[in-house]
């Protein structure tokens, strides 16, 4: 028996229309902000990108052998790492700053559980080569906030942090590299028990234990005075001046599995939903240029939105006994830029009514009687 592989999601009919509405809304917003669309390869050389990821993420990559070169290939685990390689290869031909967006799937071999997929639909935006980091941080943060609003995500907030805080703590507290990996894992998973155990066993400063609970407004910043939080202070001050004071919160416990982040990081959260729907941040070292961006999880947004896509009636359904006449009429209508489907076999009257209603045709045309019937009147009578 043929089975669909675990971890993929099939969109069709109204569900596909809803997904396309989400993607088109995102595309429209990015293009109005003058970002340019790019299509990236679906697979890449594993050795070229593996250093950008933690060991856990490397283990989740789909890997296979290139029979020509003998090298290991991987399905793209994220878009940014591939984009960074492209930027480095084409750097001399690019006029910075470069504003880029993409829409496509990434692949991770996650453990299968409810709501978790291995083929993940994403849309992202990257601002590369902006000389003023503060301006670029603000532009991207505002875009993230406004896009969540445009999509109709209720009670959505941008959760803002910085990886520099954790790096600064590790440096001042003198945490070993092996322990840094463990602590990041516990912070990411909000595993307070394991975090507390390693801090007490190694006699590390208890500021680390505070991080997961330091979530709120600017008043929490006083808890980490003396550490590197300057980027958060600048960004949140600017957001306040623009009237976004109620659209963000600060989370000083944000860390990243992806190793390339260098400054501001943020997540998009919706109240009552168990996972973030947007994530991003700054990654200046990855591309050899100052860069910041974010990615949206389209599958998660799909689950959250209750968008009713009203199908507009369009096109012709042509039926009748003379197949040559059907083909001639189809050609005639296609030349007029109409949508056309011709009968693939006889349908009873009840089957015909059910079929044209299901497909959303605007007209039905009987080639034998040369009769055209508009279905818009039936729709308007409802």
Q: Is 108 annotated as a binding residue?
A: yes
In tens, the pLDDT along 118-153 reads: 999 999 999 999 999 999 999 999 999 999 999 999
Please tell me whether 236 is known to bind a ligand. no
Model confidence pLDDT, tens digit, residues 245-283: 999 999 998 888 777 888 999 999 999 898 899 999 999
pLDDT at 185: 84
| Confidence at residue 114, expressed as pLDDT on a 0 to 100 scale | 60
Domain boundaries, the chain: 13-304, 316-380
CATH class of 13-304: alpha beta
79 has binding-site annotation: yes
What pTM was computed for the model? 0.85
Residue ranges of the chain whose pLDDT lies below 70: 1-2, 113-115, 307-311, 377-382
User: 369 among the known binding-site residues?
Assistant: no
Annotation-wise, does 80 bind a ligand?
yes
Q: How is residue 83 written in tokens?
A: 């984009």
For 330, the token pair is 């189809």
With a CB cutoff of 8 Å and minimum separation 6, the contacts of 195 are 183, 186, 187, 208, 209, 212
Does 67 count as an annotated binding residue?
no
Strand partners, 103: 123
- Any binding-site annotation on 1? no
How far apart CA 38 and CA 252 sit, in angstroms, is 33
Q: Is 261 labelled a binding residue?
A: yes
The phi-psi region of residue 124 (left if phi > 0; otherwise alpha if psi is between -120 and 50; otherwise beta) is: beta
What is the predicted pLDDT for the residue at 51? 86
pLDDT for 319 equals: 93
């Amino acid at each position: 028996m043929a089975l669909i592989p675990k971890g993929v999601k099939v969109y069709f009919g109204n569900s596909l229309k809803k997904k396309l509405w989400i993607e088109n809304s995102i595309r429209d917003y990015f293009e109005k902000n003058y970002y340019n669309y790019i299509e990236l390869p679906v697979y890449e050389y594993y050795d070229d990108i593996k250093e950008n990821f933690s060991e856990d993420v490397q283990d989740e990559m789909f890997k296979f052998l290139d029979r020509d070169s003998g090298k290991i290939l991987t399905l793209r685990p994220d878009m940014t790492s591939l984009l960074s390689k492209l930027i480095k290869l084409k750097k001399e031909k690019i006029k910075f700053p470069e504003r880029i967006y993409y829409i496509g799937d990434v692949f991770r071999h996650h453990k299968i559980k409810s709501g978790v997929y291995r083929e993940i639909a994403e849309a992202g935006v990257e601002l590369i080569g902006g000389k003023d980091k503060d301006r670029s941080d603000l532009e991207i943060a505002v875009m993230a906030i406004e896009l969540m609003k445009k999509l109709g995500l209720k009670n959505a907030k941008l959760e803002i942090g910085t990886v520099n805080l954790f790096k600064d703590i590790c440096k001042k507290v003198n945490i070993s590299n092996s322990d840094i990996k463990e602590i990041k894992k516990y912070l990411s998973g909000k595993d307070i028990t394991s975090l507390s155990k390693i801090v007490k066993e190694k006699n590390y400063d208890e500021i680390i234990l505070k991080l997961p609970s330091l979530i709120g407004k600017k008043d929490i910043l006083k808890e980490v005075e003396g550490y590197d939080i300057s980027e958060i202070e600048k960004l949140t001050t600017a957001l306040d001046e623009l009237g976004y004071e109620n659209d963000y919160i600060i989370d000083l416990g944000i860390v990243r599995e992806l190793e390339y982040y260098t400054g501001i990081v943020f997540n998009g959260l919706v109240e009552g939903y168990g996972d973030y729907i947007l994530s991003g941040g700054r990654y200046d070292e990855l591309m050899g240029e100052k860069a910041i961006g974010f990615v949206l999880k389209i599958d998660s947004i799909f689950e959250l939105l209750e968008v009713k896509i009203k199908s507009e009636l369009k096109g012709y359904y042509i039926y009748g006994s003379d197949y040559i006449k059907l083909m001639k009429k189809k050609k005639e209508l296609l030349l007029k830029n109409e949508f056309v489907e011709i009968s693939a076999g006889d349908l009873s009257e009840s089957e015909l009514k059910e079929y044209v209603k299901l497909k959303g045709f605007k007209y039905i045309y009987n080639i034998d009687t040369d009769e055209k019937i508009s279905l818009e009147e039936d729709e308007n009578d409802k």
